[in-house]
Chains A and B, each alone.
Chain A
Amino acid sequence: MTNHWVDIKNADVVLIMGGNAAEAHPCGFKWVTEAKAHNKAKLVVVDPRFTRSASVADLYAPIRTGTDIVFLGGLISHLLATDAIQREYVVNYTDLSFIVKDEFAFTDGIYSGYDAAKRSYDKSSWDYAVGDDGYVLTDPTLQHPRCVYNLLKAHYARYTIEMVERVCGTPRDKIRQVWDLIASTATPDRAMTIMYALGWTQHSIGSQMIRTGAMVQLLLGNIGVSGGGMNALRGHSNIQGLTDLGLMSNLLPGYMTLPGEKEQDFDAYIAARAQKPLRPNQLSYWQNYRKFFVSFMKAWWGDAATAENNWAFDYLPKLDKQYDMLQAYELMNQGRMNGYICQGFNPLAAAPNKAKLVASFSKLKYLVVMDPLATETSEFWKNYGALNDVDTASIQTEVFRLPTTCFAEENGSLTNSSRWLQWHWKGAEPPGEARSDIEIMSGLYQRLRAMYQRDGGAFPDPIVNLAWNYARPDSPDPEELAREYSGKALRDLPDPKDPAKLVRKAGEQLAGFAELRDDGSTSSGCWIFCGAWGPSGNLMARRDNSDPTGIGQTIHWAWAWPANRRVLYNRASCDPRGRPWNPARKLVAWNGSTWGGADVPDYKADEDPVNGMGPFIMNPEGVARFFARGGLADGPFPEHYEPFETPLAANPLNPGQPQALNNPAARVFEQDRAAFGTSSEFPHVATTYRLTEHFHYWTKHVHLNASVQPEQFVEIGAALADELGIGNGSRVRVSSRRGHIEAVAMVTRRIKPLLIEGKPVHTVGVPLHWGFLGVAKPGYLANTLTPFVGDANTNTPEFKSFLVKVEKA
């Protein structure tokens, strides 16, 4: 979230699209009802299903799954055509006035630089034009034909309201009503928040759907303001924290990135990330990358990280390509992986195409599962009849299953979608011999280190030199680890302005990332968390819920990254002279000498606004980007491509170009392409979803939840049920090219057929919570059905749009 849960109460319009907060995030959705009740806010829901969020909305618009870019692209076109944009905001705070290189082009749905064989782009033409002074050329009048404003306008001119109706199936009057309501927030005194979740991420064009939403918000001046923002609701309790800490194939903590294998030179690695400003007097905060990186390497490798060895740069593995989950299972299925460790993760249920997963896991030599619960993954080798019909004796994988503690049995912090790190406390001992993951990882590490010290082996240095100065090496305290990722001074730190004074004494915790240095004198395992455990102690454990300004900031409750800031980009809540756009919802302001207010300013604290520093300080431009440059794999502007399994024969936006039917930059493995179905064989569009009574695959192990929602079902609209002769409560078989499930049919009026390109398209809802283990009635894993393909940028699987066939069981 750019903003936070309580801040939703300040919105004038709430758009829920690609999510269903009323059911998936009920206690957060309360702030939507608060906005409706006390701020006269209007709620708009755009969704293929009439969800419970939709049931309390002021406006509901149905949409075919996977077509959100068309709906929002049409909106962008509408906002530009009617000039319903916050002009002073976009001219000063975005790249609309920037000039783009002449080489950049877009033809028939394909951007310049496309290599069809590699399914990827050479992105060198996707950039701004630079002048002799080294800065990007701009035209603040927005007249230049190559300025981002005019390119944007031309790009979305193709997204007409007729096109939206044809592709999305949304009735025209609904489209108009939604667009008009959203456009009403273009004035400085009105704000709209966008709330989205996996209904946007789980598409082969998911990243670009989210970007389209962000572009709408920028045009309306709704980023950085109270009641505004792009708010990812996020799934698990610490999915934000684990991403922040870099537990992804290509990341390091704090959104630093692993080097690619071509990046052999340390200084070049840093220089590529410590980007210089693209416009005069911009902060470009990533210029401090070296400080973040060196402090991180000191936290991990201590005295072994020195200036002489480039702070142990070669201890880090280097990438030749992405090794995301889908890539890992592809390698596994090819017999190129031997071991796999699943810590609190049930990929047999959570990844696409169960048949491929079973085949992949069966080729492993060893599988290790750490979990509080008995997961399907840990028993993938066991035959559960039709639900998991495997030949146990032929599966040669060794499986180790290790019991772990759960939340109630440990101290620690979780980072929620508001970016708040909240500390929690242990209330009970774990059952049986269960151990914390900290103890298990430490136990494995201690054994590996001892073997490498004793026997040697492949490149032992990063293992034997890993800093492990914990009081109990077999089981470090969470408190010790929190102090480590927050950071401390390794030596006395003299004040740069007055060397006679000290900023911090050796060993003292740091107050924030501004104190980090690049000479090895500071350590911080995750720079954006720096200060969470500061000189005064554990700020994550704070419990002061006072809200002095009344706009829900509670900045003394827990601690938020970065720097305890609650609303990101909050400098943009003021006009270029530093006065709040909306004084009734003031976050920060310039008082003539400093910035301050209800939030921690997202800006240089003493920067006079007349000097023109932009509010988007992490970007070298200082402003927000409509034109993504080379930031995304599939284009600088979001373009609609059909899902990989689509009911349409051609992309209505680019009908003459077959390469532009699906995302041309998405990675597809050959075997998986062969497992895609067509609409002639699988005529119904399916989308997975969550129920309010269940959480993923955990709560089928929980009595209360298993009682209230015991049996697997699929949701089918009344029109389709009539057509197929399926009665409410009867059993149906739902199959895709990859497998089938059987479940109870819930026939509803919540899903209606949509008229797409003149033909009715039926949507089927597949709730995902059942499996062959637990106390709920056994069921099929929903991902038996889903296709093995992901977003071009994130490789998040396309769970929200695929083709099935529904029939009587």
Chain B
Amino acid sequence: MTDLSRRRFLKLTGTTLAGSSLGLLGFSPAPAVAEVRQFKLARASETRNTCPYCSVACGILMYGLGDRAKNAQPSIFHIEGDPDHPVNRGTLCPKGAGLVDFIHSESRLQYPQYRAPGSDSWQRISWDEALDRIAKRMKADRDANFVTRTDDGLTVNRWLTTGMLAASASSNEVGYLTHKVARSLGLLAFDNQARV
């Protein structure tokens, strides 16, 4: 009986909740009421992360459904500030407080898409099709326009007809690998949001 959840407690007592029925059930609801918050998160899995918005990098705790078992699909349903974090000490601003809605935004893209020249709509394509076609266009452009030497004989090995922007909200690991690939191709028109 002591493990009774708040929801189950309300269900059991139903609309007859009154002093007399409480007495019949043989316990007081006080501890259950006092621990509402714990019940909400008690069976959630907790993951430590940092807020992806500004550069304060507040520590956050993400609460997800499920116990990380292989057959359970986790889904984040609550995010709050990490009280152990030395900078934000558990607080979040109005941006960080809405993070769970970012994860589940209806604008999240679901699958690769393609817009043909002149078309007014997207069509869904597979990952292999998308990556194959992009890689082919990149190679065709690079092979046609790569500059090995300037007219006056300087070795320059650059590719100026394709450019790239990298994401300054992506991780260091993403950034590192992106740079490695982009520069190996000879890209120079290459920036991230630090430019703006």
Residue-wise interface mask of B (76-112) relative to A, using a CB-CB cutoff of 8 A (1 in contact, 0 not): 1000010011111101111111110111011111111
- A374 to B136: give the CA distance in the assembly, Å: 24
> A341 near B: Cβ within 8 Å?
yes
* Residue pair A412, B91 in contact (C-beta under 8 Å): no
* Residue pair B143, A458 in contact (C-beta under 8 Å): yes
* Residue pair B191, A248 in contact (C-beta under 8 Å): yes
* Residue pair B167, A366 in contact (C-beta under 8 Å): no
> A678 near B: Cβ within 8 Å?
no
- A482 to B130: give the CA distance in the assembly, Å: 28
Stretch from A440-448, A507-515, A665-673 that touches the partner:
A440-448
- By a CB distance below 8 angstroms, the chain A residues around B133 are 400
Q: Which of A5, A372, A459 contacts B186 (CB 8 A)?
A: A459
Residue-wise interface mask of A (336-377) relative to B, using a CB-CB cutoff of 8 A (1 in contact, 0 not): 111111111101001100000000000001101011111000
Stretch from A121-129, A213-221, A584-592, A698-706 that touches the partner:
A698-706
Q: Which of A238, A249, A316, A395 contacts B168 (CB 8 A)?
A: A238
- A249 to B177: give the CA distance in the assembly, Å: 16
Residue-wise interface mask of A (369-391) relative to B, using a CB-CB cutoff of 8 A (1 in contact, 0 not): 01111100000011100000000
> B13 near A: Cβ within 8 Å?
no
* Residue pair A262, B154 in contact (C-beta under 8 Å): yes
Given contact pairs A235-B55, A400-B112, A408-B103, A794 touches B86 in the complex (Cβ within 8 A): no
> A393 near B: Cβ within 8 Å?
yes
> A526 near B: Cβ within 8 Å?
yes
Stretch from A418-426, A647-655, A758-766 that touches the partner:
A418-426
- A590 to B17: give the CA distance in the assembly, Å: 72
> A253 near B: Cβ within 8 Å?
yes
> A537 near B: Cβ within 8 Å?
no
* Residue pair B184, A328 in contact (C-beta under 8 Å): no
A569 → chain B, closest Cβ, in Å?
20
Given contact pairs A247-B175, A773-B107, A242 touches B55 in the complex (Cβ within 8 A): no
Stretch from B1-9, B21-29, B32-40, B155-163 that touches the partner:
B155-163
- A154 to B99: give the CA distance in the assembly, Å: 52
- A576 to B84: give the CA distance in the assembly, Å: 38
> A525 near B: Cβ within 8 Å?
yes
* Residue pair B165, A438 in contact (C-beta under 8 Å): no
- By a CB distance below 8 angstroms, the chain A residues around B150 are 261, 320
- By a CB distance below 8 angstroms, the chain A residues around B115 are 381, 397-401
Q: Which of B88, B102, B108, B114 contacts A434 (CB 8 A)?
A: B108
B120 → chain A, closest Cβ, in Å?
5
For chain A, residues 681 to 716, give those with C-beta under 8 angstroms from any C-beta of chain B.
692-695, 698-699, 701-705, 708
Q: Residue among B48, B173, B193 with the most chain A CB within 10 A?
A: B173
B60 → chain A, closest Cβ, in Å?
9
> B138 near A: Cβ within 8 Å?
yes
* Residue pair B189, A328 in contact (C-beta under 8 Å): yes
- A243 to B175: give the CA distance in the assembly, Å: 9
Q: Count chain B residues whose beta carbon lies closer than 8 angstroms to a beta carbon of A.
A: 117
Q: Which of B96, B119, B174 contacts A438 (CB 8 A)?
A: B174
- By a CB distance below 8 angstroms, the chain A residues around B107 are 373-374, 701, 773-775
> B16 near A: Cβ within 8 Å?
no
- A537 to B164: give the CA distance in the assembly, Å: 33
Interface residues on A, range: 35 or more
Residue-wise interface mask of B (111-134) relative to A, using a CB-CB cutoff of 8 A (1 in contact, 0 not): 111111111101000010011111
* Residue pair B101, A704 in contact (C-beta under 8 Å): yes
> A413 near B: Cβ within 8 Å?
yes
* Residue pair A240, B55 in contact (C-beta under 8 Å): yes
Q: Which of B45, B92, B162 contacts A427 (CB 8 A)?
A: B45
Q: Residue among A383, A407, A438 with the most chain B CB within 10 A?
A: A407
For chain A, residues 179 to 221, give those with C-beta under 8 angstroms from any C-beta of chain B.
202
A32 → chain B, closest Cβ, in Å?
12
Q: Which of A332, A406, A441 contacts B181 (CB 8 A)?
A: A441
For chain A, residues 621 to 652, give those with C-beta under 8 angstroms from any C-beta of chain B.
none
Q: Which of A412, A433, A703 contacts B172 (CB 8 A)?
A: A412
* Residue pair A237, B57 in contact (C-beta under 8 Å): yes
Given contact pairs A336-B161, A407-B52, A408-B49, A485 touches B101 in the complex (Cβ within 8 A): no
Q: Which of B141, B162, B180, B194 contacts A300 (CB 8 A)?
A: B180
- A6 to B195: give the CA distance in the assembly, Å: 27
* Residue pair B114, A427 in contact (C-beta under 8 Å): no
Closest to B196 in A: A350
> B43 near A: Cβ within 8 Å?
no
* Residue pair B145, A247 in contact (C-beta under 8 Å): no
* Residue pair A797, B96 in contact (C-beta under 8 Å): no
- By a CB distance below 8 angstroms, the chain A residues around B120 are 382-383, 392-393
Q: Which of A234, A394, A463 contacts B185 (CB 8 A)?
A: A463
Q: Residue among B132, B150, B192 with the most chain A CB within 10 A?
A: B192
- A249 to B138: give the CA distance in the assembly, Å: 19
> A222 near B: Cβ within 8 Å?
no
- By a CB distance below 8 angstroms, the chain A residues around B191 are 247-249, 324-325, 328
> B30 near A: Cβ within 8 Å?
no
- By a CB distance below 8 angstroms, the chain B residues around A24 are 54
A416 → chain B, closest Cβ, in Å?
3
Closest to A372 in B: B108
* Residue pair A402, B112 in contact (C-beta under 8 Å): yes
Instruction: List the 3 closest pairs (A to B, CB-CB), nearest first.
Output: A344-B167, A412-B171, A432-B110
Task: Give me 8 A-to-B residue pairs in the complex whose CB atoms sit less than 8 angstroms apart, sorted by A's number.
Answer: A26-B93, A247-B175, A398-B115, A399-B114, A408-B103, A410-B171, A478-B171, A775-B107
B interface list, Cβ under 8 A from A: 45, 47-59, 62, 64, 73-76, 81, 84-89, 91-99, 101-103, 105-120, 122, 127, 130-139, 141-143, 145-146, 148, 150, 154-196
